[in-house]
Amino acid sequence: MVRARRWESLAQGMFIVPAAAYLLLFFGYPIVKNIVMSFQQYTPATFYTGAAPFVGVENYSRILSSDLFPKVLLTTVLFTAGSLFVQFVLGLAFALFFQRRFPLAGVLRSLLLLPWLLPLVVSGTTWRWMLDTDSGVVNSTLRHLHLLPSGIPWLTGTSQALVSVILINIWVGIPFNTTILYGGLQDIPTHLYEAAKLDGAGPVKSFRHVTWPLLRPVVSVVVVLGAVYTVKVLDIILVVTGGGPADATETLATQSYELSFQQFEFGRGAAMSNLLIVISLVFALVYLRANRRAKNA
């Protein structure tokens, strides 16, 4: 009897083993390996000689004390916060708009998803072409309207490049925010709005006292999930500006890539990406709490 039960749970376990093994190899191993690598010194020669001596916390101290680090951290924060805030506000505006019943609403709502579904390299390339200082459509339109005779160096100006990259990332993120928030709005029972109306509440009041409080759990999920995705964005920045000009659009993620795969300093690259993991994990914990609250609500 005991044997049969053990056999049974073994048979059941076999359903999970392949997937669990995959996850351990392709997530567990990389995380552990990154921690180990971050204490080693890699050079371009390491892949021929295999020599990667342990250097203690030197990789971390070199990263943290480098002149570039404060700037990279600030850029990461501005990129994440700027993208999140604007894409949330515009996403919510779209979601509220689509709550009205009008012809073609469903078709328009699903077409809106297109920017989010396109490969980021494709979006990045298109925007790069549109924002080109001399021949891009944005500047040539501004010139035709006689708004700006010389044009804005969207991607080549040190102060404009970060704004441009954030704008592109916002464009990518709006559809996601709209879809999730629209779903949340649909779950709010209509009789609550009717009750608010009977009590004499206008649109603003009913948004403040009905929509917002009931949408709060979904809002936290959208924002935290957005933060987790945004903080590790690499594709757009690499395609559009390559981190430049003059490191103006370097973030923790792009720095980690460059240290490892362009300078072959895998130790410092790993240390940098571990910082990224710590930030993501903080968001992850917030997310899991927010999600539990959303489900209980």
Partner 1 sequence: MKRAPKRGWPSTIVGIFLLALMLFPVYWMVNASLQPAGNALYGAWFPFHPDFSGYATALRDQGRNLVTSLVVALGSVALSLVLAAPAAYALAQFRLRGTNLVVFGVLITQMVPSIVVANALYSAYTDLGLLNSYLGLILADSTAGVPFAIIILRSFMQGIPREIIDAARVDGAGRLRVLRSVALPVSVNALITTALFTFLFTWSDFLFALTLTTTETVRPITLGIYQYIGAHTNQWNAIMATAVLASVPAAVLLVVAQRHVAAGVTSGATE
Q: Which of residues 133-162 bind partner 1 (CB under 8 A)?
A: 134-135, 137, 140
Q: Is 79 in the site for partner 1 (CB under 8 A)?
A: no
**Span near partner 1 by CB under 8 A; candidates 69-77, 148-156, 200-208, 259-267:** 259-267
Min dist. Cβ of residue 55 to partner 1 (A)? 17
Give residue for tokens 């441009």.
164
Cβ-contact 166, 82 below 8 angstroms: yes
Q: Which of 142, 180, 133 is nearest to 161 (CA)?
A: 133
**Which position among 3, 4, 5, 12 is part of the footprint of partner 1 (CB under 8 A)?**
12
Q: Which residue has the tokens 């968001």?
A: 283
- Cα–Cα distance between 72 and 250 in angstroms, integer? 6
Residue 93 or 209 with smaller CB distance to partner 1: 93
| Contact with partner 1 (CB under 8 A) among 101, 146, 149, 190 | 101
User: DSSP letters of 19-74?
Assistant: HHHHHIIIIIHHHHHHHHHTTB---TTHHHH----B-TTHHHHHHHHSTTHHHHHH
**Residue 234 found at the interface with partner 1 (CB under 8 A):** yes
Minimum CB–partner distance for residue 264 and partner 1 (Å)? 10
- Say which DSSP state 150 is in: S
Contact between 253 and partner 1 per CB under 8 A: yes
Window contacting partner 1 (CB under 8 A); options: 56-64, 156-164, 203-211, 232-240: 232-240
Window 174-193: contact mask with partner 1 (x via CB under 8 A): x-x--xx--x----------
Shortest separation between residue 249's beta carbon and partner 1, angstroms: 16
The DSSP letter of residue 151 is -
According to CB under 8 A, which residues from 272 to 291 bind partner 1? Answer: 273-274, 276-277, 280-281, 283-284, 287-288, 291
- Taking CB under 8 A as the binding criterion, the range among 26-34, 58-66, 191-199, 201-209 that sits at the site for partner 1 is 26-34
The yes or no reply on residue 30 touching partner 1 (CB under 8 A) is yes
Helix (H, G, I), strand (E, B) or coil at 181: helix
Shorter beta-carbon distance to partner 1: residue 37 or 196: 37
| Span 191-210, contacts to partner 1 by CB under 8 A | none
Quote the least distance from Cβ 75 to partner 1, whole Å: 16
DSSP character at residue 207? I
Q: ∠ at Cα 215 (211, 216), nearest 5°?
A: 120
Sign of CA dihedral 218, 233, 84, 100: negative
* 113 scored as a contact of partner 1 (CB under 8 A): yes
Out of 163, 209, 214, 235, which residue is the one contacting partner 1 (CB under 8 A)?
235
Q: Based on CB atoms, which residue is closest to partner 1, 166 or 239? A: 239
Phi, psi of 50 (to 5 degrees): 75, 5
- Of 65-73, 75-83, 147-155, 172-180, which part binds partner 1 (CB under 8 A)? 172-180
CB of 23 to partner 1, least distance (A): 6
- Residue 209 near residue 196 (C-beta atoms within 8 A): yes
Residue 179 carries which side chain, given as an amino acid letter?
T
Task: Indicate whether 81 belongs to the interface with partner 1 (CB under 8 A).
Answer: no
Residue 158 structure tokens: 């040190």
For Cα atoms 130, 131, 135, give the angle at the middle one, nearest 5 degrees. 75
